Structure 1
Amino acid sequence: MKFFHLSDMHIGKQLHRYSLKEDQEAILWEITDYAWKIHPDAIVIAGDIYDKSTPSAEAVTIFDRFLTGLAEITPKIPILIISGNHDSAERLQYASEILKKNHIYMAGSVPETEGERIRKVILKDEEGEVDFYLLPFMKPSYVRNVFRDNPPESYSEAVKRIIERENIDYDTRRNVLVSHQFYVGDGGEAPKTCDSEVCSVGGIDQVDTAGVAGFDYVALGHLHGAQKVGSEKIRYCGTPLKYSVSECGHHKTLTVVTLKSKKDVLQIEELPLHPIRDVRKKTGTLEEILAGAREEEREDYVSITLTDEIDPYKPREQLERVYSHVLEIRVDNQRTRKKLEETEEEPEVKDPFSAFEDFYREMQGKDMSEEEKKVMEQIFDEVKGE
């Protein structure tokens, strides 16, 4: 069973003030071209299709064209899609039964009642059947009604228990989980993250990989850097494009997974992706950066750090004559470093509820009443999934 593992396309996203429409269309077309040439047995998309839960009409059109392009390939390639934390489960799951007839399987929501189960798609190859379990992004509160008597208190427990209900045959059948969460390895070893990702303070959203270790492959979405989590078979494929300056060192690829028999070793291949524009960092004096500008970089997205000790004349205007997509201009010299050292203080880290208490006091000129505190405590517990 050979399949593409994609995630975190974030269609509709902007990089600073620049639209990525052209860049996203080009990279999705390259993925479609790979699908025509390789013709995988399936294409798995592990969440965060869109960058916002209410995507623009333009973003929806881009994704529609991508699916249409894939659907034109014959024989038909099954496409398996789950929602991520940036997606709207209801919007993404719209017309799912119609799409199923065209071999496009959508899972927008996790089970929410005792009678519901994780959506399972069974595909076949020469070795037999493979069970794909589609588990969208979830919080403990999403499955509270599934476990009425003893609801899960943590993300890790919620994922583990919702999977355990499926009575999966790990011994004789090949199983693939598609999931969109923040997974950590044995001993709480966290994967590498980027500035473009948001992870909860204190790690309340962490999910232990022990709960998914029985699967033959776990196709993850959520983190933007391609990487394994403790095991080769538990992987983030990363984004197809660079979505922040912190990702400038990434090499974006298309992950191709080959799952043979239960006895054979899993095969992972990473095919290169070629964006229209790269994301780069440049550091130096204004004169050095201007003189060092290579022709092939001039259309790229560029973050610039100037080290001039004396402020240069109209640096942005000069830089924009050379680079067409300047993301930001920072200054790092002895003067700015000294100023930071003089003003730097150790920040006081407070829990969210205490921080809100301080905010309320500053805005209202008084403390919260006991009744107001109870209301806010309920809200914070709901956010944390408790």
Structure 2
Amino acid sequence: MSRSQEELYDITIIGGGPAGLFAAFYAGLREMKTKIIEADSKLGGKVHVYPQKMIWDVGGMPPLTGRELIEQSIEQGLTFNPTVVLDQVVTNIEKDEDGSFLLTTATGSTHYSKTVIIAIGMGGVISHMKLEVPRASEFEDKNLYYKVLDVNDFRGKSLLISGGGPTSIDWGNDLSPIAKSITLIYRGDQMRGLEANRTKLINNGVEILYNTEIRELRGKDHITEVALYNNKKDEVFQIETDAVLVNHGYHKDNLLFSGEGKKVELELVDNFFIKSSSMGHSDVPGVYGAGDCVLYDGKVQLIAGAYQDATNAVNCAKLYIEPDAGKTALVSSHNDILDERNKKYLYEEKI
């Protein structure tokens, strides 16, 4: 393996979601040379799927939107200026004779690291399943939506929601106070999701049409009418609408290392989750996991749990490189490495 010392990082984090970003921050506290490799074109991970949803279960934080969490996570994660590589999918990890790792991406790029943290969430880039009817792409930047970026886009409008899963039900409930009317259609005869939320949907006045799917979008510059098909009665009918919101699920990349010829073999649970201990270890020394992609007894599938995973993984990586190092970083409230930054936040107006 030929490389310069400048190319060799202490820790390379695969994934730039909440777990990966917090790992980057904590690695900075531990004074580790850090790189993030993210498959998407932006940092933030799966939270981009629900930018307007409220998140209540991050300790010590008032409720905040997904978008706010992304912005704050990125700001925190980049505190110590890690190297960030976007649009790169890691397809292979090899371990060299000297114990360091060679990471190869789908484009053929190579990255060298003493340790690796895998924080790829539920499996790489997530993209919405698009509506497969004529003219759908034509209306995407107008009034055909695949996610809610701003609830005010639907204020005072008649809205058609297509999809019968928990996300569609949540949209119906969340938007019912501001939309003029909401019709929710589902191609099956029974929606998925908590019964209490389905009942709330009815109480909020949302009209629900089962066995119904979109056949055609109509309108000149914007959608003004939708042709619907009842697959049980074999009938087509029309409704007028100001906006269409579609949630038919997501496309997800396969788990990392799906290619052949890999030299680092990770033990997986249910063919997906990286088998880990509560201390972040995988079964490969020097490779650790954090967030939704790891599984162990007591695992908490929350963003708050991802922070704990990330901290454990970084501490394991530090001790792997420097066995005599402290087991954890000095707490941030007493950490000299943050002195100048603390002055900025405490005395911003005086400096």
TM over 0.5: no
Larger RCO: Structure 1 or Structure 2 (Cα < 8 Å, ≥ 6 residues apart)?
A: 2
TM score, norm. by length of structure 1: 0.26
TM score, norm. by length of structure 2: 0.28
